[in-house]
Amino acid sequence: MSVTSTLPEVDRLADELAPPAAGRRLTAKRRGPRLKPAKRVLLYVLLAALTLLIFVPFFWMVSSSLKHNNQVFSIPIQWIPTEFVWSNYVDIWTRIPLLTYLKNSLFLSVTITFLQVLTGSFAAYGFSKMRFKGRDVLFVIYIATIAVPWQAYMIPQYIMMQNAGLVNTHLSIILLQAFGAFGVFLMRQYYMTIPDELSEAARIDGLNEYRIWWRIILPLTKPALASLALLTFVSTWNDYMGPFIYFTSNDLWTVQIGLRSFVGQFDAEYAMIMTGSVISVIPIVIVFLLGQRFFIQGIATSGLKG
Amino acid sequence: MAIAATRAPVRPQSRARARRNALVGWSFILPNFIGFAVLTLIPMGAAFVIAFMEWDSYSPPEWVGFDNFERMLGNQSFWIALGNTAYYAAGHIPLTMLAALGLALLLNKRIRGLGFFRTTMFFPYITSLVAVAVVWNMLFNPTMGPINQFLEWIGVQDPPGWTTTSAWSMPAVIITSVWRDMGYYMVLYLAGLQAIPQEYYEAADVDGANAWQRFWNITIPSLRPTTFFVLIMVTIASFKVFDLIVVMTDGGPGRATLVLSQLIYEEGITENRFGYSSAISLALFLIVLVFTVVQFRIQKRKED
């Protein structure tokens, strides 16, 4: 007995929503003819130019963060500071409560990621390996909501949160972002690629469904869990609109909100603004470099961000 | 265990078993579903109702029929925001898709350093949006910014004022958003390109097709499902643009870059006009829905 959907339309819909080549591992292309030397040189020149285009803003950001304010805008452009103003990286911590912002961002990102991965993979097991009435209808509802822009229902959410007294608490954003349909969808797409024989065999061996999930499916889908965790972490860390709407007091602010507010208040402190920007990006750079293949795999599978 | 092993293959499809199964199945879904239902499904349904009500935080909600929609259609800000959102989408959708496809084609080759280049192109996408917006805002500085210095250096007499002028602030936002998003959609195109069977190209080689013919007759048609998917995702993302605009221009100068999401935020959260802002939300939702359905239709017709 295979556990495919009772409604073929559900799988078709899920397939249509997932990018067509979902689940394929992106590889360096090992096939096809080698490029001719002239074309190869041209390609490298093009790629170098594009890399420059990507890196110039980052380079400018780091370079400006090490300048005095009046050196940031100069004619001609100073790519390397004449004098490295390292003190920017010391002073910023006292200019704005950056440490609090970082702590808040970290707390929200970790909590939301944990809940999203846990409830998402748990629900995905129900949607892919169990068979019961109403399952497929429910899954279609999940998928459909992914296409609805958040702006379409953020006002009722806000009213609910206001009535529950949760506006201006971290809990509001945790609740809003931890139970998204995205995690369920991403994990289900992975779980569908695991042969049902595996869970069938475990059932025959007397394992109950919860243990099958914990002992067999979870260990098998570690890359998927990593993808979901990283995508959720980064999108929570970078989220602006949610915290912007819900957090009014300064001590709840995330790095993004804090940075934006700093820019609004001291718009001539160019160097310090860049210092704050660099610091806000560093955690993401670390997370990204540690797990970049999971990011790219996660996107290639789901086609969605968190 | 021995008992379970002998019993399992018989598998009595009793009603009790089905009910047990449903119970266990629901128990898996429930932890997520409770949060999802309360915080996504209910608000979504409520948005449809609230849009037909006069409701602010001071007085109780009152049913007013289509009043909010009439007011919206007669409101200048709504039309400006709608126009700006369409402007943004008209720039962001095609440019992002072209850039993403171009990058994917370049990076689907057999060369050294492929991993490095792919990571690089993807990098802007994961960088925090506030940092991106702040940096580009400075790069776009009309008198001292690197971009205009570069433009003057290559001989542009009177470079644009970018985010300080109403004519050029939207292009500035679009350029930044394309720079940021192209690497993300590149990954989707790469996955699509790698799914094309190599045999197609070999067969074309045998028939003497040149690179251009191979691209138009094999690559583009084979990528159609990917293109369709990317188009839907970029469209949805374009219509709900918010963060980038709020941080880069805050809708200005004047209302030159005011978009629908921002209007919903201002009317709903800042002014507490829940009913009116829900009407705008509903309009935004309908626009996205119509676009998605039309694109699905076109895709279906091409498949047949």
Q: What is the pLDDT of residues A163-194, one digit of tens each?
A: 899 999 999 999 999 888 888 888 888 888 88
Shortest Cα–Cα distance, B167 to chain A (Å): 23
How much is the pLDDT for B88?
95
How much is the pLDDT for A5?
41
ipTM of this complex: 0.81
On whether both B145 and B275 belong to a single domain, the answer is yes
How far, rounded to the nearest angstrom, does the alpha carbon of residue B182 sit from its chain's CA centroid?
12
Mean pLDDT to the nearest integer, B275-301: 88
How much is the pLDDT for B95?
97
pLDDT in tens, A257-293: 998 888 888 877 888 888 989 999 998 888 888 877 7
On whether both A43 and A174 belong to a single domain, the answer is no
How much is the pLDDT for A113?
94
Domain assignment present for B141: yes
On whether both B58 and B124 belong to a single domain, the answer is no
**Greatest CA separation found in chain B?**
88
On whether both B51 and B80 belong to a single domain, the answer is no
Among candidates A156, A259, A281 on the partner chain, residue whose Cβ is nearest the Cβ of B46: A156
Among candidates B22, B110, B239 on the partner chain, residue whose Cβ is nearest the Cβ of A133: B22
Mean pLDDT to the nearest integer, A215-232: 85
How much is the pLDDT for A193?
80
Domain assignment present for A188: yes
Task: List the single residue in B with minimal CA-CA distance to A273.
Answer: B134
Mean pLDDT to the nearest integer, B235-253: 88
On whether both B76 and B139 belong to a single domain, the answer is yes
| CATH code for position A198 | 1.10.3720.10
On whether both A101 and A199 belong to a single domain, the answer is yes
Domain assignment present for B152: yes
CB-based contact, A40 to chain B, within 8 Å: yes
Say which DSSP state B53 is in. Answer: E
Task: List the single residue in B with minimal CA-CA distance to A161.
Answer: B39
How much is the pLDDT for B175?
94
Domain assignment present for A141: yes
On whether both A65 and A213 belong to a single domain, the answer is no
On whether both B249 and B290 belong to a single domain, the answer is yes
Residue B62 phi, psi dihedral angles, 5° rounding: -140, 135
On whether both A168 and A288 belong to a single domain, the answer is yes
CB-based contact, A137 to chain B, within 8 Å: no
Per-residue pLDDT band at B92 (split at 50, 70, 90): very high
Contact (CB, 8 A) for B273 and B56: yes
Whole-angstrom Cα distance, residue A154 to residue B284? 12
Q: Give the residue with greater pLDDT, B152 vs B172.
A: B172
Q: Give the residue with greater pLDDT, B209 vs B1.
A: B209
Mean pLDDT to the nearest integer, B189-195: 84
| CATH code for position B89 | 1.10.3720.10
On whether both B287 and B155 belong to a single domain, the answer is yes
Please list every residue in chain A whose beta carbon sits closer than 8 Å to the beta carbon of residue B233.
Answer: 303-304
Per-residue pLDDT band at A32 (split at 50, 70, 90): low
Please list every residue in chain B whose beta carbon sits closer than 8 Å to the beta carbon of residue A263.
Answer: 134, 247
On whether both B174 and B204 belong to a single domain, the answer is yes
How much is the pLDDT for A10?
54
Domain assignment present for B244: yes
Domain assignment present for A3: no
Whole-angstrom Cα distance, residue B259 to residue B255? 9
User: Domain range holding A70?
Assistant: 35-86
Say which DSSP state B113 is in. Answer: T
Shortest Cα–Cα distance, B17 to chain A (Å): 11
Residue that is written with structure tokens 């957090």 in the block: A247
Please list every residue in chain B whose beta carbon sits closer than 8 Å to the beta carbon of residue A240.
Answer: 129-130, 242-243, 246-247
On whether both B115 and B21 belong to a single domain, the answer is no
How much is the pLDDT for A84?
83
| Lowest-confidence segment of A12-16, A103-107, B250-254 by average pLDDT | A12-16
Whole-angstrom Cα distance, residue B26 to residue B33? 9
The answer to whether A280 contacts B57, with C-beta atoms less than 8 Å apart, is no
* Ranges A30-44, A213-227, B277-291, most confident: B277-291
CB-based contact, A29 to chain B, within 8 Å: yes
CB-based contact, A156 to chain B, within 8 Å: yes
On whether both A231 and A195 belong to a single domain, the answer is yes
User: Domain range holding B53?
Assistant: 14-63
pLDDT in tens, B158-179: 888 888 888 899 999 999 999 9
Domain assignment present for A218: yes
Domain assignment present for A49: yes
Cβ-Cβ contacts under 8 Å between A and B: the total is 320
Structure token pair of residue B70 = 């009439």
Dihedral (Cα; A265, B123, A50, B102), 10-degree rounding: -120
On whether both A102 and A133 belong to a single domain, the answer is yes
Name the domain boundary from A48, A64, A86.
Answer: A86
Task: List the single residue in B with minimal CA-CA distance to A76.
Answer: B149
On whether both A157 and A278 belong to a single domain, the answer is yes
Buried b (16+ CB within 10 A) or exposed e, B262-287: bbbbbbbbeebbbbbbbbbbbbbbeb
Say which DSSP state B62 is in. Answer: E
How much is the pLDDT for B101?
94
Contact (CB, 8 A) for A115 and A179: yes
Task: List the single residue in A with minimal CA-CA distance to B187.
Answer: A300
Domain assignment present for A170: yes
On whether both A129 and A143 belong to a single domain, the answer is yes
Please list every residue in chain A whose beta carbon sits closer than 8 Å to the beta carbon of residue B128.
Answer: 237-238, 255-256, 277, 280-281, 284
What own/partner pairs with CB < 8 Å and gap ≥ 24 does B87-91 have?
B87/B170, B88/B170, B88/B173, B88/B174, B88/B177, B88/B238, B88/B241, B88/B245, B88/B257, B88/B259, B89/B235, B89/B238, B89/B239, B91/B170, B91/B171, B91/B174, B91/B178
The answer to whether A46 contacts B106, with C-beta atoms less than 8 Å apart, is yes
CB-based contact, A55 to chain B, within 8 Å: yes
On whether both A252 and A120 belong to a single domain, the answer is yes
- Number of folded domains in chain B? 2
On whether both A46 and A146 belong to a single domain, the answer is no
B265 residue type, one letter: Y
On whether both A112 and A73 belong to a single domain, the answer is no
The answer on pLDDT for A65 being more than 90 is no
Distances (CA, A) of B5 to A191, B2, B9, B43: 25, 5, 7, 47
- Other Cβ atoms closer than 10 A to A134: 11
On whether both A159 and A48 belong to a single domain, the answer is no
Domain assignment present for A91: no
Contact (CB, 8 A) for B182 and B99: yes
On whether both B54 and B93 belong to a single domain, the answer is no
pLDDT in tens, A67-101: 887 777 777 777 888 888 888 888 888 888 889 99
- Number of folded domains in chain A? 2
Mean pLDDT to the nearest integer, A200-228: 86
The answer on pLDDT for A109 being more than 90 is yes
The answer to whether A51 contacts B117, with C-beta atoms less than 8 Å apart, is yes
On whether both B119 and B190 belong to a single domain, the answer is yes
On whether both B27 and B87 belong to a single domain, the answer is no
Domain assignment present for A1: no
